[in-house]
Amino acid sequence: SQVQDMSKEKVAAAKNMAFAFDIDGVLCHGTEPIEEGKKVLKMLNGDNELGIKIPYILLTNGGGKTEEARCAQLAGLLEAPISTDQFIQSHTPMQALSEYYETVLVCGGEDFKVREVAETYGFKNVVHPKDIMAWDPTISPWGIFSEKDRANAKPRDFSKMKFDAILVFADSRDYATDFQIIMDLLLCEDGKLLTKAKDPVANRIPIYFSQGDLVFATNHKGPARLTQGAFRIAIEAQYKALTGVELERVVYGKPERATYTYADEVLKSWMEQIHNENKLPENIYMIGDNPQSDIIGGNMYGWNTCLVRTGVFQGKEGENDSHNPANFGVFDTVYEAVTAAIQKEL
């Protein structure tokens, strides 16, 4: 019948669309869930007029713990099942680097959680800045070193080790120590601590940052808070001031193209899992709060972009971002964005 044909068409359209959600400022404020985020996930997980799953992935510049730990935390906050197979955090694509580097300094995040992250990615010899501080506390005159750090640090003889790369996975919790040890490794000879390179560039080990956001949305009442991009700029400025040369570095995360191509692959295999179809949906909607990462990245990659008012973006009612306008529109919350997209496609 006509009704059946119509619903068949709608089901096909629902499988031909997908959402990529930013987390901070869209679904959560730090560890507080945004109510509309919960509502949206429930709807996409099948609580809708068609009773089918509309595919979505989470694409965040956050990081600092394993994908498994973060998905479990988010599932609790948002009261929805969240699989690691639909989840990309800033450092997820950096696992490919474990093929090239064995001994890595890994920085950022709470406690020593990034150690486990790097080990699950396959890095053989993972060093945390606090391991180095436990070996020689004089290395960081203004650093913080707690009893808990002492219990978890793995001091070794770092004078004998050759580092292959520096990986910044998340926000520093001890800027003094991270700045100092990163600078030590950038300025030493071929990744060997306590040495000093004659030429700052020739044998310098590479440095990678998991994302470039300057600010992010938290539960703070005032303007958005500084994040990893601000830390990177400080490293770049210190290196330039000390050597006279620009620091060459690699940045992952949104809005870098590599992150979006990675997201396509994840979405494709997620489609296979939930709908048994090995096909990338044609109409992808990025829902984000940061014009400088979510929106510019989505626009460049040919996705539909929706900017929400629950995070970094602070424009007035009726305004879009002037530099990187969202091409599908600006919405009060993630719920309005998702319902508008569904209305357009189905």
Q: Which is nearer to ligand G3P, 82 or 133 (CB)?
A: 82
Q: In which order are the strands placed within the sheet that holds 250-251?
A: 125-127, 103-107, 165-168, 207-209, 250-251
Q: If contact means CB under 5 to 8 A according to the sort of partner, which of Mg ion, ligand G3P, none does residue 60 touch?
A: ligand G3P
As measured in angstroms, the least distance from the Cβ of 62 to ligand G3P is 4
Provide the token pair at 292: 């400088």
Q: If contact means CB under 5 to 8 A according to the sort of partner, which of ligand G3P, Mg ion, none does residue 131 touch?
A: none
Alpha helix (H) residue ranges in 82-159: 113-120, 129-135, 147-152
Provide the token pair at 166: 């520096």
Q: Which is nearer to ligand G3P, 129 or 311 (CB)?
A: 311
As measured in angstroms, the least distance from the Cβ of 306 to Mg ion is 12
Which of the ranges 19-27, 132-140, 153-161, 183-191 carries the binding residues for Mg ion, by CB under 5 A?
19-27
As measured in angstroms, the least distance from the Cβ of 25 to Mg ion is 4
By CB under 5 A, the residues from 245 to 304 that bind Mg ion are 289-290
Q: If contact means CB under 5 to 8 A according to the sort of partner, which of Mg ion, ligand G3P, none does residue 62 touch?
A: ligand G3P
Residue type at 284? I
User: Residues near 27 by Cβ (< 8 Å), separated by ≥ 6?
Assistant: 21, 33, 34, 37, 40, 41, 58, 74, 78, 334
Helix (H, G, I), strand (E, B) or coil at 21: strand
24 binds Mg ion (CB under 5 A): yes
Q: If contact means CB under 5 to 8 A according to the sort of partner, which of ligand G3P, Mg ion, none does residue 321 touch?
A: none
321 binds Mg ion (CB under 5 A): no
As measured in angstroms, the least distance from the Cβ of 181 to ligand G3P is 21
Q: Which is nearer to ligand G3P, 25 or 291 (CB)?
A: 25
As measured in angstroms, the least distance from the Cβ of 78 to ligand G3P is 13
As measured in angstroms, the least distance from the Cβ of 254 to Mg ion is 9
| Distance (Å, whole) CA 162 – CA 175 | 23
As measured in angstroms, the least distance from the Cβ of 61 to ligand G3P is 3
Q: Quickly list DSSP for 140-177.
A: -TT----HHHHHH-----GGG----EEEE-S--S-HHH
| Distance (Å, whole) CA 56 – CA 50 | 16
Q: Which is nearer to ligand G3P, 140 or 292 (CB)?
A: 292
Per CB under 6 A, residues contacting ligand G3P are 22-25, 60-62, 171, 213, 216, 227-228
Alpha-carbon dihedral sign for residues 299, 303, 306, 311: negative
Q: Decide: 187 and 200 in contact? Cβ < 8 Å.
A: yes
22 binds Mg ion (CB under 5 A): yes
Q: Which is nearer to ligand G3P, 14 or 284 (CB)?
A: 284
Instruction: Look at the block and give the residue holding tokens 């020593």.
Output: 112
25 binds Mg ion (CB under 5 A): yes
Provide the token pair at 297: 């990245």
Q: Which residues bind Mg ion (CB under 5 A)?
A: 22, 24-25, 289-290
